[in-house]
Amino acid sequence: MTLDLPLIWAALIATAVLLYVLLDGFDLGVGILFPFARSPKDRDTMMESIAPVWDGNETWLVLGGGGLFAAFPLAYSVLAPALYLPLILMLLALILRGVAFEFRLHGRKHGKAFWTAAFAGGSLAATIAQGLVLGGFIQGITVRDGRFAGGPFDWLTPYSLLIAAGLVAGYALLGAGWLVWKTRDELHGDARRWTWITAGATAALLAAVSVATLIVHPRVAAQWGFIDGAFTWQVLPWVPIPILGAAGLAFIVSGLRRGSHGMPFAGAALVFLSGYLGLAVGFFPTIVPYDIDFRAAANADNALGLMLVGIAVLLPLILGYTVWVYWLFRGKVSGDAGYH
Amino acid sequence: MDFDAILLARLQFAFTIAFHIIFPSFTIGLASFLAVLEGLWLSTGRDVFRNLYMFWVKIFALSFGMGVVSGVVMSYELGTNWAEFSRAASPVIGPLLAFEVLTAFFLEASFLGVMLFGWRKVGPRLHFLATLLVAIGTLVSAFWIISANSWMQHPVGYAVLADGSLRATDWLTVIFSPTFPSRFIHMTLAAFLTTALAVGAASAWSLLRDRTQPESGMALRMAIGMFAIVAPLQLVAGHLSGEMVRLHQPLKLAAVEAYWETRADQPQSLVGIPDRKAGKTHLEIEIPHVGNLIQGVPGTTVLQGLDAFPRADWPVVGLVYWSFRIMVGLGLAMIGLGVWGVWLVIRRRLERSTWFLRAAVAMGPAGFVAVIAGWVVAEVGRQPWTIYGVLRTADSASPVGAGQVSVSLLGFMIIYAIVFSAGAVYILRIVNRGPSLDVEPAPSAGGRAPGTPLAAAPPEPEA
């Protein structure tokens, strides 16, 4: 039996990106919610809830980029130049918010205020940049002779801005759900309110993005069964995807109503999973929409094979100790675990 | 991509990687230092080690954070600015970089959280294990990145297919390419030296104000022990690395030593102003006959000069020549500082020697400067190639215009200037406070995890 290496690697990269979106999504979301905290003390608690794990969360982004370089070099070498400016914006924003975790503790009066603003602003800007990257990706990349052949601002369209707005709402929802889970007292109450608001915004924007995608991109519409104004029911296997999203929203609402601490976050994760799969159905099997197939972009078989051996051993290990670290820091934020 | 865009992209890469390399070269050594301190604290129970750990872990956290975020940049910059390189090199070094993420980055990032925030969550032994794993992660990361870079310096174990693309033919040959072992040792020792000098400088600074400060006295002795041993070893490792350059990159050697003509019995140029256009070195001080001796080959061996290569392939000779001399000069100064320090320790006059303490403070940044100078020798010396002899830098860039590259370069310069100055101020403030203020009254008898938190985060004084 020969393994379908490109398919396996496409699945692995897709999983890494999904894990990134879910994990860094909630800690970016906490940053987006930063300005709405009642007090500096609440902000300290919010940051403390993610401080031990944000670094590991962001490593999935490195695996996404590094993995694309290593497994699908053609896609990497077309997508990165095509999405040049939003990617650079994302990196700069991630730098500012990343160092803010430590710098905020060392700044004096003005320094601390600056790094508080840098954390909030950096989280928001990184999210917007990721939304623009996603929007630019979904709307398609201009490719000639296997190379990017478009302009520097191809990614900037009303559609990509809509996606960016949706991602801001979505990450804020994940962040709010996380805070419902990890905090108590007044901050917990605020987080519940934020969850209500961001869940509503996410649902509305996700619906808007879905409609816009079907209208703007006939190819995606065809994947979803809308061909020349008619609708075919061959998309039946994908019907569970929107149902999953609706279930996620129902989970959030019922969790909030029943006073559950964990359900809103789980529901938010389901909503993300649904949105992620829904978009994937639209562009799969291209990896550079809509010109380059993932098989055409794949690296040499011997490189993919070597890496598969490595990841087969290492990924379970990584997932194992990642889960262990989350387990270690389980429960409500206690506020006394730091080294400062 | 046009000429300007390539130049800007090179500037951007040089800027972002020079900024990045400062932090790993510091944290590789510091992580191991922390592991040693925690190990000593656990085995001896002496508070001095715990206090030193608590002092240096703060500086580690600040530096590591800056290293992480500037490192994320590298994993995307290869694509945004060097798409053609990525496409060509990935079939061979793609797996090496993927393994770096999988074996090192996750390990470091996950256990860093435990190391910094897990004091009350895990026992002392498990905490020590977390510190140890972070230290191992930093070394594993260096292994892979130096492996990939060594392959770019001297590509082996690959074949060129009919369509011009590269394929690895032997992975072990790719990973352990001939220049890799000596370069990995050279880089690791450089990281340990850098850290030892920085720790020595901080401790000497504190001793200059209070000669009886026990933590600083201990840390300075540990630092001296480290650089007194490692600096001479580094001379040997550097020589071995240079031997690989002579064997596999003779053009780079010719640039490093400003050999303009191919001949036996090369002279050794000490200082001078190499002039690439004129093909000679101005105002040169040279020692005749010893060039071959220093390269470790008999005087009768012919060593290739720059004239053996097409002029279009020459790197910027002056930059390579001078970076090498800065690196070696600082290395010799480190050996001198080590000998001086050991002598003072033996004579039990360390704390009393104001001049030594001042010299140790002055040498604090020497490791960083030497590391960057060394990288300039390695990377500028490889030009005009990204993969030596296989892919030219001019053919490596992305199809993006100079406008985008300038905007991003400007962005990096502004953000890095803010982050770097703030980080430097915070680290220097901690150094200036010294380890003594962190010493708590001795804990009451009973089980207390090493370095349980000393204070909560300060309140946020804002509106």
Domains of chain A from N-terminus onward: 5-339 (1.20.1630.10)
Count other C-beta atoms under 10 Å from residue B7's C-beta.
Answer: 14
Nearest alpha carbon to residue B138 among B179, B194, B177, B92: B194
Determine contact, residues B25/B389, Cβ cutoff 8 Å: no
The residues, ordered by sequence, that sit 6+ positions from A5 with a Cβ below 8 Å of its Cβ are A298, A301, A304, A305, A308
Give the Cα separation of A83 and A122 in Å (integer).
19
Please judge whether A81 and B80 are an interchain contact, meaning their C-beta atoms are less than 8 angstroms apart: yes
Q: How deeply is B286 buried, as exposed, middle or buried, from its count of CB atoms within 10 A (0-12, 13-18, 19+)?
A: middle
Q: What tens digit of pLDDT does each residue of B178-224 get?
A: 999 999 999 999 999 999 999 999 999 999 998 989 999 999 999 99
Domain that holds residue B237: 5-245+328-367+406-433
Q: What tens digit of pLDDT does each residue of A237-280 get?
A: 788 899 999 999 999 999 999 999 999 999 999 999 999 998 88
What does the pLDDT read at residue A284? 85
Whether residue B215 lies inside any domain: the answer is: yes
Whether residue B222 lies inside any domain: the answer is: yes
Task: Report the domain count for chain B.
Answer: 1
Determine contact, residues A177/A271, Cβ cutoff 8 Å: no
ipTM of the complex: 0.90
Residue B442 pLDDT exceeds 60: no
Whether residue B454 lies inside any domain: the answer is: no
Closest CB to B90 among A65, A69, A115: A69
Residue A340 pLDDT exceeds 60: no
Best residue in B69, B145, B160 for a mutation probing chain A (most A CBs within 10 Å) = B69
Tokens 């220049």 locate to B179
CA of B23 vs chain A CAs: smallest distance (Å): 13
Best residue in B64, B101, B170, B387 for a mutation probing chain A (most A CBs within 10 Å) = B101
- Residues of B with Cβ-Cβ distance to A63 under 8 angstroms: 101-102, 105-106
What does the pLDDT read at residue B444? 37
> CA dihedral in degrees (B39, B45, B48, B53; nearest 10)?
40
Q: What tens digit of pLDDT does each residue of A57-99 get?
A: 999 999 999 999 999 999 999 999 999 999 999 999 999 999 9
Closest CB to B103 among A94, A306, A314: A314
Name the band, by pLDDT with cuts 50, 70 and 90, for residue A227. Answer: confident
Q: What tens digit of pLDDT does each residue of A153-197 get?
A: 999 999 999 999 999 999 999 999 999 999 998 999 999 999 999
Residue B391 pLDDT exceeds 80: yes
Whether residue B259 lies inside any domain: the answer is: no
Q: State residue B67 phi and psi, 5-degree precision.
A: -65, -40
Whether residue B286 lies inside any domain: the answer is: no
Whether residue B373 lies inside any domain: the answer is: no
Please judge whether A58 and B118 are an interchain contact, meaning their C-beta atoms are less than 8 angstroms apart: no
Q: Is the preceding peptide bond at A290 cis, omega within 30 degrees of 0?
A: yes
Tokens 């999935």 locate to A60
Handedness of CA A232, A234, A240, A241 (dihedral sign): negative
Whether residue B159 lies inside any domain: the answer is: yes
Determine contact, residues B224/B200, Cβ cutoff 8 Å: yes
Q: What tens digit of pLDDT does each residue of B25-71 get?
A: 999 999 999 999 999 999 999 999 999 999 999 999 999 989 988 98
Name the band, by pLDDT with cuts 50, 70 and 90, for residue A230. Answer: confident
Nearest alpha carbon to residue A129 among A161, A152, A97: A161
What does the pLDDT read at residue A74? 94
Determine contact, residues A61/A25, Cβ cutoff 8 Å: no
Looking at A239-243, B39-43, B332-336, B458-462, which range is the least confident one? B458-462
Closest-CA residue in chain B for A98? B69
Name the band, by pLDDT with cuts 50, 70 and 90, for residue A30. Answer: very high
Tokens 């780079």 locate to B252
Rounded to an integer, the average pLDDT of B358-382 is 94
Nearest alpha carbon to residue B295 among B262, B323, B254: B254
Closest CB to A299 among B58, B65, B91: B91
Residue B460 pLDDT exceeds 80: no
Average pLDDT of every residue of chain A: 91
Determine contact, residues A338/B58, Cβ cutoff 8 Å: no
What does the pLDDT read at residue A335? 62
Whether residue B255 lies inside any domain: the answer is: no
What does the pLDDT read at residue B459? 47
Q: How many beta-carbon contacts under 8 Å exist across A and B?
A: 277
Determine contact, residues B122/B111, Cβ cutoff 8 Å: no
Q: What tens digit of pLDDT does each residue of A199-223 get?
A: 999 999 999 999 998 888 888 888 8
Residue B320 pLDDT exceeds 50: yes
SS3 B168: strand
- Residues of B with Cβ-Cβ distance to A300 under 8 angstroms: 91, 165, 167-168
What does the pLDDT read at residue A125? 97
